């Protein structure tokens, strides 16, 4: 056999294998040719805190942990729940007991089976004051029985309300119903931990030479502040559907250097430095990518007893909300690819169906006309101009938005809005004590479910600084805690928000990346940006 | 939980005991204690990982700056007031005017983005391609200084009586320079080289950050930003010890260069 034929045969063999993988892996569309080198390289800003699932506290570390370990449930490209180690779960009628069924082919990278006891150990470990996990509070947030007591030190560690009924059945008892509880099992803190390895190596168990993990990848190299490398875990139960062989996270502290290195072809993904999105999207339209994030930006009216009389009139509130040209704010002021907001909850939140609200589809001219009518109806006009003060916390960006808003209101409606900025702590206190007419607000969701936003408008919420109170909203949100299908409830809340307009949604936050065109299946619509290397692939150029 | 954390870092002890433990651990066991930020690494780990990297390209930059700087200076001096002299002086001043935080971006734009021949940063096990840009960025301004120092020192020496005597004996220029002029020329240069060696190691902070080499500079800045006092103290002490040690070496080197100096 000559040298060339041997090469040709090798190429043929490898391409058949790759096609095989492509056909097996459901996330590669037909007609896509995979690259020979399945290495994904991306930039991280800083050294990660840890790769110990119960210790990690930063985004960078969590990204690595999600590849190395697998929890009960995973997220798909849109943030919806898909099975992980658990094939599914059942919930009792009172929504207080969750029973997860674990797959029987899940293995640790040393070949040991992943059993329910690994989760019991890990969750107790996270709550244990001896570990002093920075994410201890997360276990308490999950409302698991005994969590608060263990954390407070009044109950023995290890007595958390989570039990292994058998190797493949995990039972969790909650203190109160939590509709988003299964979503929380995609969080790194809840991932299983290998007890034997941790006890053998102590704090050194996360070093590449010691670590044993159950995810699609294993940690093979780590030079702090420079790089960490994870490679395919042959023991992973879904290894045959995993395409990326190797993922490299490069620490690049300077974002402009990172962009240069991306443009030189060293990276498949990097963040776009502030203010450069318009230029990048013009120069590299296929690569500059904006994706929604789990945060909103709004102004809230003070509708409490002591608030301004004018804002007690819904027509005034609606007029001001309608007159805001959101396209100008996102395209000319913010320039970061943010989507304009017509609902309080970002549309990309998992399981949330935004209602078809009339103002979202109107032209700005129509909105302006409607705003003028509404304001006239409320009795404000040239001889009786509406005046109020709008406050925001000190920041260049917030100031730009506030100036733009006040100008829009002035030129379109003749409204006199004066601006006032405050330091963050003062701002929070003033807003919390209703010492304002209109105030800036923003909220980043704690979990990927609409209630994390809508709860802010519950009359009982500690963050409802505008003191909006609507009995129907409270009722819907209460029902959502135990409902099987929460979608319609949240949609109705958003409809009420539009009718009552207690807040002016301005835009939803966005993140901006440069994504190489040969990187496939990046979960752009996952608002939490919970991505898994195993779902990505590299396309042949 | 707080008690657990305090016990782990010894913060529950009285202040004098904390200081005593810290000092005695350093002196007796070379142990700088645990990092406040990274749960699974202590200060010794961090120094052991970062210092060899900083030392590698710091030393390389030192060697490059010294060799090129001295060479350039000597060349300019013996070709005094010729085109070569002007060229070397211009080059030296230009290099001096380019500190590492200017050189870094220039190098990355040129060699990574436009020419595409060198990786824009990282360490990757110390491969030579990864070393070139950090070494150049770190060495240029010192190189310029050394060249200027060497040139003026050499000019002074070449005009002195013992050189004229050597020339008068009929010694060839090469022998005069190497055997008679070099040692006295290098005396002021050596006194500058000592601090330079410390500078290239500590001054690598920017280069570490800009090229993300994984060196000690990144850990140093990171610890300051995250209030990781243990790492901050550890690295500062290391730099301090290094400064004292290198200054001692410089003083000893004087004696060799100038027989008049005796300790």
Name the residue among A58, A55, A46 with its Cα closest to residue A125: A55
Return the pLDDT at B109. 92
Secondary structure letter of residue A103 according to DSSP: P
Return the pLDDT at A20. 37
Q: Which residues lie across from A227 on neighbouring strands? A: A223, A250
**Sign, CA torsion A206/A242/A81/A168:** negative
Secondary structure letter of residue A502 according to DSSP: S
Residues in A 36-55 with any Cβ partner in B closer than 8 A: 46-47, 49-50, 52, 55
Q: Which chain B residues are closer than 8 Å to A225 by Cβ? A: 50, 208, 212, 214-215, 218-219, 222
Residue B213's closest chain A neighbor by CA?
A: A226
Top-confidence residue, A394 or A446: A394
Q: Which residues contact B196 (CB under 8 A, 6 or more apart)?
A: B62, B65, B66, B142, B145, B146
pLDDT tens, position by position, A319-348: 999 999 999 999 889 888 899 999 999 988
A251 phi and psi angles, rounded to 5 deg: -80, 120
Residue A391 belongs to what H/E stretch?
Answer: strand A387-393
Q: Write down the CATH number for the domain with range A292-511.
A: 3.10.105.10
Note whether A41 and A266 are within 8 A (CB). yes
CA–CA separation, A13 vs A529, rounded Å? 36
Query: What average pLDDT score do residues A260-276 get?
Result: 91
pLDDT tens, position by position, B9-41: 777 888 888 888 888 888 877 788 888 777 778
Distance set, CA A420 to CA A10, A167, A323, A340, A434 (Å): 70, 60, 21, 24, 15
Query: To probe the interface with B, which of A225, A256, A262 has the most B CB atoms within 10 Å?
Result: A225
Q: What are A517's two structure tokens? A: 């065109």
Reported as a pLDDT band with limits 50, 70 and 90, residue A25 is: low
Return the pLDDT at A26. 64
Note whether A494 and A355 are within 8 A (CB). yes
Answer whether A225 sits within 8 Å of B218, measured CB to CB.
Answer: yes
Which of B40, B108, B211 has its CB closest to that of A52? B40
How close, in Å, is residue B44 to chain A by CA atoms? Answer: 13
The answer, for A226 touching chain B at a CB cutoff of 8 Å, is yes
pLDDT tens, position by position, B103-124: 889 999 999 999 989 998 888 8
Which of B40, B50, B119 has its CB closest to that of A266? B119
Q: Which chain B residues are closer than 8 Å to A251 by Cβ? A: 212, 214, 218
Answer whether A132 sits within 8 Å of B212, measured CB to CB.
Answer: no
pLDDT tens, position by position, A400-443: 999 999 999 999 999 999 999 998 889 999 999 999 999 999 99
How close, in Å, is residue A209 to chain B by CA atoms? Answer: 14
CA–CA separation, B230 vs B228, rounded Å? 6
The answer, for A264 touching chain B at a CB cutoff of 8 Å, is yes
Q: What are A163's two structure tokens? A: 């039990």
**What's chain A's length in residues?**
541
Note whether A216 and A242 are within 8 A (CB). yes
Q: Which chain A residues are closer than 8 Å to B112 by Cβ? A: 260-261, 264, 266
Q: Mean pLDDT in chain A? A: 90
Query: What average pLDDT score do residues A214-224 get?
Result: 95
Q: Which chain B residues are closer than 8 Å to A206 by Cβ? A: 40
Query: To probe the interface with B, which of A130, A150, A226 has the most B CB atoms within 10 Å?
Result: A226
CA–CA separation, A21 vs A178, rounded Å? 39
Q: What are B65's two structure tokens? A: 């700056």
Name the residue among A215, A230, A248, A260 with its Cα closest to residue A40: A248
What are the extents of the domains in chain A?
2-248+516-538, 292-511
Q: Which residues contact A510 (CB under 8 A, 6 or more apart)?
A: A290, A291, A292, A293, A336, A337, A338, A339
Q: Which chain A residues are closer than 8 Å to B213 by Cβ? A: 226
Secondary structure letter of residue A330 according to DSSP: I
Return the pLDDT at A9. 35
How close, in Å, is residue A169 to chain B by CA atoms? Answer: 31
Return the pLDDT at B180. 85
pLDDT tens, position by position, A157-216: 889 999 999 999 999 999 998 888 999 999 999 999 999 999 999 989 999 999 999 999
pTM of the model: 0.81
How close, in Å, is residue A150 to chain B by CA atoms? Answer: 10
pLDDT tens, position by position, A56-89: 988 899 999 999 999 999 999 888 899 999 999 9
Note whether A222 and A204 are within 8 A (CB). no
Answer whether A49 sits within 8 Å of B38, measured CB to CB.
Answer: yes
Query: What average pLDDT score do residues B54-77 get?
Result: 92
Q: Which residues contact A248 (CB under 8 A, 6 or more apart)?
A: A39, A40, A41, A42, A227, A228, A229
Query: In this prediction, what percent of chain A has a pLDDT beyond 70?
Result: 95
Long-range contacts of B237-240 (CB under 8 A, 24+ apart): B237/B26, B237/B32, B238/B47, B238/B51, B239/B198, B239/B201, B239/B202
Secondary structure letter of residue B258 according to DSSP: -
Q: What are A117's two structure tokens? A: 């006891």
CA angle A336, A342, A343 (to 5 degrees): 105
Q: What are A257's two structure tokens? A: 């250097």
Tell whether the model's pLDDT for residue A360 goes beyond 90: yes
Fold exhibited by the domain A2-248+516-538:
Dipeptide-binding Protein; domain 1 (3.90.76)
Reported as a pLDDT band with limits 50, 70 and 90, residue B203 is: low
Answer whether A225 sits within 8 Å of B210, measured CB to CB.
Answer: no
Return the pLDDT at B9. 76
Per-residue DSSP letters for B188-250? HHHHHHHHHHHHHHHTHHHHHHHHT---HHHHHHHHHHTT-HHHHHHHHHHHHHHHHHHHHHH
Query: To probe the interface with A, which of B1, B8, B108 has the most A CB atoms within 10 Å?
Result: B1
Q: Which residues lie across from A384 on neighbouring strands? A: A381
């Amino acid at each position: 056999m000559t040298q060339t034929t041997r090469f040709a045969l090798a190429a043929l063999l490898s391409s058949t294998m790759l096609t095989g993988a492509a056909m097996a892996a459901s996330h590669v569309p037909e007609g896509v040719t995979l690259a020979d080198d399945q290495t994904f390289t991306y930039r991280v800003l800083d050294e990660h805190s840890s790769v110990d699932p119960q210790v990690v506290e930063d985004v960078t570390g969590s990204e690595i942990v999600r590849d190395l370990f697998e929890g009960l449930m995973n997220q798909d490209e849109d943030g919806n729940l898909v099975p992980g180690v658990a094939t599914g779960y059942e919930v009792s009628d009172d929504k207080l007991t969750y029973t997860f069924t674990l797959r029987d082919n899940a293995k640790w990278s040393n070949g040991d089976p992943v059993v329910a006891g690994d989760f019991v150990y890990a969750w107790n470990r996270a709550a244990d004051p001896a570990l002093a996990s920075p994410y201890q509070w997360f276990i308490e947030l999950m409302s698991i029985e005994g969590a608060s007591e263990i954390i407070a030190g009044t109950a023995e560690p290890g007595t958390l309300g989570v039990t292994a009924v058998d190797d493949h059945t995990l039972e969790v008892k909650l203190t109160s119903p939590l509709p988003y509880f299964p979503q929380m099992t995609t969080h790194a803190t809840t991932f299983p931990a290998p007890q034997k390895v941790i006890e053998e190596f102590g704090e050194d168990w996360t070093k590449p030479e010691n670590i044993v993990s159950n995810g699609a990848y294993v940690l093979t190299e780590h030079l702090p502040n420079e790089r960490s490398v994870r490679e395919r875990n042959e023991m992973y139960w879904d290894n045959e559907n995993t395409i990326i062989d190797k993922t490299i996270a490069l620490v690049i502290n300077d974002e402009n250097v990172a962009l240069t290195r991306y443009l030189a072809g060293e990276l498949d993904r990097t963040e776009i430095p502030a203010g450069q999105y318009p230029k990048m999207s013009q120069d590299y339209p296929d690569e500059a990518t904006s994706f929604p994030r789990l945060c909103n930006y709004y102004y809230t009216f003070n509708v409490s007893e002591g608030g301004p009389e004018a804002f007690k009139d819904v027509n005034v509130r609606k007029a001001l909300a309608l007159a805001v040209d959101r396209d100008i704010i996102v395209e000319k002021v913010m320039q970061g690819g943010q989507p304009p907001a017509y609902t309080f909850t970002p549309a990309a939140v998992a399981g949330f169906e935004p209602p078809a609200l009339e103002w979202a589809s109107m032209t700005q001219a129509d909105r302006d006309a409607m705003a003028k009518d509404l304001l006239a109806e409320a009795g404000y006009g040239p001889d009786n101009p509406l005046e109020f003060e709008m406050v925001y916390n000190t920041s260049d960006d917030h100031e730009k938005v506030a100036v733009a808003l006040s100008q829009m209101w002035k030129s379109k409606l003749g409204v006199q809005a004066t601006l006032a900025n405050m330091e963050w702590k003062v701002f929070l206190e003033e807003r919390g004590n209703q010492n304002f007419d209109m105030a800036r607000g923003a909220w980043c969701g704690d979990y990927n479910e609409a209630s994390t936003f809508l709860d802010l408008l519950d009359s009982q919420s500690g963050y409802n600084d505008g003191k909006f109170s609507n009995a129907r909203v409270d009722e819907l949100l209460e029902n959502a805690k135990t409902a099987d299908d929460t979608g319609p409830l949240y949609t109705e809340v958003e409809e009420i928000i539009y009718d009552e307009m207690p807040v002016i949604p301005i835009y939803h936050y966005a993140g901006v990346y440069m994504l190489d065109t040969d990187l496939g299946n990046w979960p752009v619509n996952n608002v939490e940006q919970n991505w898994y290397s195993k779902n990505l692939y590299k396309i042949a150029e | 939980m707080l008690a657990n954390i305090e016990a782990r870092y010894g913060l529950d002890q009285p202040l004098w005991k904390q200081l005593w433990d810290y000092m005695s651990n350093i002196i007796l066991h070379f142990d700088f204690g645990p990092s406040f930020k990274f749960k699974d690494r202590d200060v010794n780990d961090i120094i052991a990982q970062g210092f060899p990297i900083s030392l590698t390209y710091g030393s390389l930059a030192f060697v490059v700056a010294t060799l090129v700087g001295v060479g350039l200076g000597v060349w300019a001096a013996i070709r005094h007031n010729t085109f070569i002299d002007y060229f070397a002086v211009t080059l030296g001043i230009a290099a001096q005017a380019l500190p590492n935080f200017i050189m870094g971006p220039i190098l990355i734009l040129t060699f990574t983005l436009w020419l595409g021949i060198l990786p824009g940063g990282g360490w990757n096990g110390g491969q030579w391609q990864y070393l070139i840009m950090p070494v150049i960025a770190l060495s240029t301004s010192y190189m310029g200084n050394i060249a200027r120092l060497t040139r003026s020192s050499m000019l002074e020496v070449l005009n002195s009586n013992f050189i004229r005597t050597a020339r008068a004996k009929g010694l060839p220029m090469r022998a005069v320079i190497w055997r008679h002029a070099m040692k006295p020329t290098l005396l002021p240069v050596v006194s500058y080289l000592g601090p330079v060696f410390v500078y290239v190691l500590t001054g690598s902070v920017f280069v570490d950050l800009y090229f993300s080499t994984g060196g000690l500079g990144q850990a140093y800045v990171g610890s300051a930003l995250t209030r990781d006092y243990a790492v901050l103290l550890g690295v500062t002490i290391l730099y301090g010890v290094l400064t004292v040690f290198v200054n001692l070496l410089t003083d000893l080197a004087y004696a060799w260069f100038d027989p008049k100096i005796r300790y």
